[in-house]
Amino acid sequence: MSTLTAVGNLARELDCDIFCAVVDNFGDIGVCWRLARQLQAGHGWRVRLFVDDLTVFHALCPEVDASLARQEASGVVIEHWHEPMHAGDTLDIADVVIEAFACEIPHTYIAAMARREREPVWINLEYLSGEDWVADFHMRPSPHPRYPLSKSFFFPGIGAGTGGVIKEHDLDARRQQFDANAWWSERVGIERPDAAKTVVSLFAYENPAVDALLAQWRDGSSPVVLLVPEGRISGAIARFFGVPKFAAGTSAKAGALEAHALGFVEQPRFDELLWAADINFVRGEDSFVRAQWAMKPFVWHIYPQADDAHLPKLDAALDHITQSLQAPARDAMRAFWHAWNGAGTPDWAAFWVHRRELEARAAQWAQELAAIGDLAGNLVAHVNTRIGS
């Protein structure tokens, strides 16, 4: 879908530059890459993505060649932002400039933005938070101290009045068409487990609570099939089963628990893991959002911040997601998420006894979340009001 916007007296597709510095993990580029593709494919923008770490990007998009200075993938131009002052081979300023997560865009680029005949729309894309203050700060302008430029703070969120979260237009259709049987044989190499088994996907940081949980699954009365994408928690899984490593292709069994390690897949295929499982353990920002769109119960391992700044965000998300649950289910979910994030020991049985209620709420919550509008759509609407379509 292409949206033409009136720029001056010309109707044309908008150019957009996104700057992304990878702090750690996959979330920074994960969010930027998803947004870039959606602005391009869903809104017809011409998008250029500056990324400082192409090796991490390659994991999400194997088509990306980490040795190239400039390339194109999925219709998006990708520039290796190889040093902080680099702003592409030619200093070409886009209509819309997005600096992701307060990364510092090159001074030469900012100076050229100020010289541009028509002021670009400058957006600082913030990290996602479910906290209430986000709606008050969303889209607040901040004038540049030296240049005649103003930057707006775009706050993704899960509450009304925020920028929302990314959702592709075809996501629900892809989920509904998902062929679970084919997925199990291709990705796991076994038949899809029957309904008596609970399928758990586990994407998490190192987590001291994992041993207790693995032991509960092993000793539990109903079978659990655990799917673990290779990553930061794999070492703990290997130690639990007494194997040297839990790399893709490894399977292990103990009591009622069987576990399978999966390779890291390109980003558009990550959702399939969430659709295949009955409950998803996710982390960070992007997988947290995807779990909500999967409409399954999930547990969030939030990205830990200094001084426990992440804990109010965890509680704010719980407030939204548990709203309208009955008190016993709400309390159990809150206790389980807290335990998974360092406060207490997780009690799987006390949590999963509410499975049916949690499933119903997950589907309902996805509808509520969709009602605040998707992030790319909200961003495009804002830009159009600024540029005047």
Residues in CB range of 282: below 8 A, 6 or more apart? 203, 204, 274, 288, 290, 291, 298, 299, 300, 301
103 near 139, Cβ under 8 Å? no
What φ, ψ does residue 9 adopt, rounded to 5°?
-105, 20
Report the nearest approach of ligand TRH to the CB of residue 25 (Å).
Answer: 3
Nearer to ligand TRH, 296 or 354 (CB): 296
Q: Which residue number places its CB atom closest to ligand TRH? A: 27
Q: How many CA atoms lie within 13 A of 68 on its CB side?
A: 13
Task: Examine residue 343 and tell whether it contacts ligand TRH (CB under 6 A).
Answer: no
Nearer to ligand TRH, 15 or 286 (CB): 286
Rounded distance between C-alpha atoms, residue 341 and residue 283, angstroms: 10
Task: Examine residue 303 and tell whether it contacts ligand TRH (CB under 6 A).
Answer: yes
Task: Examine residue 351 and tell whether it contacts ligand TRH (CB under 6 A).
Answer: no
Task: Examine residue 91 and tell whether it contacts ligand TRH (CB under 6 A).
Answer: no
Q: Kindly identify the residues of this chain, within the stretch 121-150, that bind ligand TRH according to CB under 6 A.
A: 127
375 near 163, Cβ under 8 Å? yes
Nearer to ligand TRH, 75 or 304 (CB): 304
Task: Examine residue 283 and tell whether it contacts ligand TRH (CB under 6 A).
Answer: yes
Among 4, 6, 23, 247, binds ligand TRH (CB under 6 A): 23
Report the nearest approach of ligand TRH to the CB of residue 230 (Å).
Answer: 8
Rounded distance between C-alpha atoms, residue 214 and residue 345, angstroms: 12
Helix (H, G, I), strand (E, B) or coil at 151: strand
Report the nearest approach of ligand TRH to the CB of residue 61 (Å).
Answer: 8
Rounded distance between C-alpha atoms, residue 263 and residue 250, angstroms: 10
Helix (H, G, I), strand (E, B) or coil at 126: coil
| Interface pattern 188-217 for ligand TRH (x via CB under 6 A) | ---------------x--------------
User: Which two tokens mark 134?
Assistant: 């986000």
Which residues participate in catalysis according to the annotation? 28, 285
Q: Kindly identify the residues of this chain, within the stretch 43-72, that bind ligand TRH according to CB under 6 A.
A: 60
Choose the binding region for ligand TRH from 19-27, 110-118, 238-246, 366-374 (rule: CB under 6 A): 19-27
Beta bridge partners of 122: 97, 151
Closest CA to 322 of 347, 348, 300, 345: 300
Task: Examine residue 187 and tell whether it contacts ligand TRH (CB under 6 A).
Answer: no
Task: Examine residue 183 and tell whether it contacts ligand TRH (CB under 6 A).
Answer: no
Nearer to ligand TRH, 179 or 266 (CB): 266
Rounded distance between C-alpha atoms, residue 180 and residue 326, angstroms: 31
Q: What is the residue whose two structure tokens read 């602005």?
A: 39
Nearer to ligand TRH, 283 or 361 (CB): 283
Q: What is the residue whose two structure tokens read 């259709």?
A: 173
Report the nearest approach of ligand TRH to the CB of residue 222 (Å).
Answer: 26
Among 284, 337, 351, 358, binds ligand TRH (CB under 6 A): 284
Rounded distance between C-alpha atoms, residue 266 and residue 103, angstroms: 25
Q: Site residues (CB under 6 A) for ligand TRH?
A: 23-28, 30, 60, 127, 203, 229, 264-265, 267, 270, 283-287, 303
